[in-house]
Chain A
Amino acid sequence: AQSVTQPDIHITVSEGASLELRCNYSYGATPYLFWYVQSPGQGLQLLLKYFSGDTLVQGIKGFEAEFKRSQSSFNLRKPSVHWSDAAEYFCAVGASTSYGKLTFGQGTILTVHP
């Protein structure tokens, strides 16, 4: 069975600092990996996805993630955090039969200090 682990429940950074959110997955085949962001009262929004090819993927809002098969990781990064990035971030792995059937991690809450 596939699973996703986000080791950090809550991360606090200062505005302008760099950010890395960790994600480890378990999946028997080639994984389809996603990062979503959820703001209070808002639906989940896709930041980026990895299906194949280049292991460094670029997403919206200046985010990027790197797929490392050897470490079973798909960490999310941003070089300079903005106050508007405060939200909850979810890593997810998709099934090959349906990319929309996702297994999510428990999420990482990001707090940004001015």
Chain B
Amino acid sequence: DTGVSQDPRHKITKRGQNVTFRCDPISEHNRLYWYRQTLGQGPEFLTYFQNEAQLEKSRLLSDRFSAERPKGSFSTLEIQRTEQGDSAMYLCASSSQGWDEKLFFGSGTQLSVL
């Protein structure tokens, strides 16, 4: 169990550019979640996958955001035409579905949009 890995740890980009983040969940976990955390706030749910199916998306996830989880393994979160308001920590978490579901979080990707 190597934990949830996120790459990169930090990303600095200019407004209008596209960025993509990657999350590698714990290998046996079938659920994968994306959260966004801004300074001084708790994480906010963005979306989640069960295997390769994206089951729910928050209204926070505008059309510029897209997430994928091909083959039910790693996941990517892409932000197109970044805006300064997208600056945040993007957190990934994984879990095994069940009554005792417990999230394991990665360390996050810190995005700064200049």
Specify which chain B residues have a CB less than 8 angstroms from the CB of A107 in the assembled complex.
40-42
> From residue B14, how far is it (CB to closest CB) to chain A in Å?
25
Measured CB to CB, the nearest residue on chain A to B50 is A98
B74 interfacial contact with A, CB 8 Å: no
Interface residues on B, range: 20 to 34
Contact A43 to B95, CB < 8 A, known contacts A98-B56, A106-B41, A107-B42: no
Which A residues have a C-beta under 8 Å from some C-beta of B?
A: 4, 36, 41-46, 49, 51, 90, 92, 98-107
- Using a CB–CB cutoff of 8 Å, the interface residues on chain B facing chain A are 3-4, 31, 33, 40-45, 48, 55-56, 91, 93, 95, 99-108
Q: Can you report 29 residue pairs joining A to B where beta carbons are below 8 Å apart?
A: A4-B42, A43-B4, A43-B104, A43-B105, A43-B106, A43-B107, A43-B108, A44-B105, A46-B102, A51-B99, A51-B100, A90-B42, A92-B42, A98-B31, A98-B48, A98-B55, A98-B56, A98-B101, A99-B95, A99-B102, A100-B33, A100-B48, A100-B95, A100-B101, A101-B48, A102-B103, A105-B42, A106-B41, A107-B41
